[in-house]
Amino acid sequence: MPPARIAVLGGGLTGLSSAFHLSRKFPETNIVLLERQRRLGGWVRSERVDLPQVGASVLLEAGPRTLRPNSKAVLELIHLLRLEDEVITVPKTAPPAKARFIYVPESETTPKRASGLQRLPSSIPSLISSPFLPMLLAAVAPEPFKKANRPQGATDESVDSLFSRRFGETFARTFGSALVHGIYATDSRKLSVRAAFPSIWEAEGHGRGSIVRGFLMPNKRKTLDSGYALGRTTELMRNASVYSFRNGMESLTKALEESLMSSDNVTIMKDTRLSGLKQLEDHSMEIYPAEGKTLQASHVVSALPLPTLHNLISAHKSVPPIPHLTKNPASTVRVVNLVFSCPPKDIHPEGFGYLIPRPAEGYPESYEPTSPGILGTVFDSCSLHEQDLPHIKDYYNHSGHTKLTMMTGGPYPQAPLPPTLSSTESPMIPPFIRSLLDELKVQLRRDIPDPIYWRTWNNEGCIPTLLPGHLERMEELKAHLGLPSSASASQRAGTAERGWNNRLVVVGAGVGGVSVGDCVEAGRHVGKNWT
């Protein structure tokens, strides 16, 4: 029997994907999506701003801005939602795809030749001429010949720990921490390598202790294709390095919302704050809004942050506890969009942008006005110039404006600011923005004019830090919710006694990966054991 009624808690990307795929799997089942905010989409937020000063309409992103074409789940959504004509791609041969940078502050452990803004090697010739060549040769060349040194019995460790073991501490801090800043906005010494970068952990095992050898050796592991409906998206992505949409990433979440609103079996309840979740004796569940009537559902999907779900079930003492919901901390990322009235060539080199590694002396313990804690900068006018109007063919040299985005926060302490703040609300450049401009001047080694427009987005607790041991903890969490039908009768009986009986599914960035592809994929698989 299909579920009688499904409630999806949380209207971010994972919740939207869950509701969309559930409505297709169970067309006769009533599905209700509940979201505490007045808008859906979670951290995916796009905003178009008209700037008469430069005669342009500029697209700004507050969250994710580009996607890699390796997620079939996202490509499937593009096809099913008929978004193919909205897709813009960055070809693999384009400068933003080939030119990525890292900014390395001078320190005792970094050679002066390799400090400053440096282009990452993308080919053998560029490696030979790279100032990173001595550092990379010293770290990577000997790695295949090192003895296996994974601690006996270890099932996980931090990204920094693994990179330090195999490539040395300088490599781990310079490249490993910069990579983690760009994806997880956290300290690489705290992030689980198995959860965040499973292919690296597996390569070490496959290569009998060597990561390099593991990636070079053929891997016989088969990848499963779960019948994705891809349409012509495969052709669209044939030569793409990354891609987005003409009107930003919110094109995807808005299309999901429109599809759900047109579905006869889906109800969307925005601006609905929840106060509790309780399971009844017949294993159905009651959901308690802070205001309004209690809702009942036979099955529930929680796409909420795990601490939020913990608070909901803790409101009722009779509800079976779920382990590990409050284990992982989360990073707050402040995204700052800046627009300048000059072409990109006057601001930055042609390319995608740059990341910044962890300071050699460690992260400061308190906010320092002279050090705003920059994680990285994206050169949006290079990678996503097609989002802005009018279109300029030679955007790098002749565009009338430059758009870039700076990410700050994560492991760095931040000064308090409102959730959003723009130059239209405060025409005077505040100290925080001024400190970013001062740092930008140092990092790019050129004078930086004042922006004609700026906007800050304070994304509170937006990216979970998956601590070592995360995968094992999530298996324990899922066991408490109820095992899939392949489990033995004794296993299912043991979990049923705990009360959830496979009626509650917990998904989202705090459970699986944090990328857009991970979140969409998680929603795609929800309900596969509900019959």
The secondary structure of 281-341 as a DSSP string is TTS-EEEEESSS--EEESEEEE-S-HHHHHHHHHT-TTSPP-TTTTSS-EEEEEEEEEEES
DSSP reduced 3-state for 517:
helix
Residue among 64, 66, 67, 62 at smallest CA distance from 46: 62
pLDDT, position 321: 83
Helices 250-261 & 13-25 angle (0-180, nearest 10): 40
Under 8 Å between Cβ of 336 and 406:
yes
For 511, the token pair is 């459970």
- DSSP category for residue 321: P
Give the separation between CA 94 and CA 110, rounded to whole angstroms.
Answer: 30
Give the separation between CA 118 and CA 137, rounded to whole angstroms.
Answer: 17
Beta strand 353-355 with 101-104: parallel, antiparallel or unpaired? parallel
- Segments of the chain with pLDDT less than 50: 484-498
Architecture of domain 5-43+252-328+466-525: 3-Layer(bba) Sandwich (3.50)
Helix (H) or strand (E) holding 505: strand 504-506
Beta strand 30-34 with 5-9: parallel, antiparallel or unpaired? parallel
Which CATH number is correct for 46-66+329-464, 3.30.160, 3.90.660, 3.30.70, 3.40.50?
3.90.660
pLDDT, position 493: 38
Under 8 Å between Cβ of 195 and 165:
no
> With 0-12 CB in 10 A as exposed, 13-18 as middle and 19+ as buried, what is 505?
buried
pLDDT, position 299: 96
Rg (CA), the chain: 24
Q: Cβ contacts of residue 449 below 8 Å, gap of 6+?
A: 340, 341, 342
* 96-216: CATH topology: protoporphyrinogen ix oxidase, domain 3 (1.10.3110)
Under 8 Å between Cβ of 102 and 42:
no
List the domain boundaries for the chain.
Answer: 5-43+252-328+466-525, 46-66+329-464, 96-216
Give the separation between CA 280 and CA 283, rounded to whole angstroms.
Answer: 5
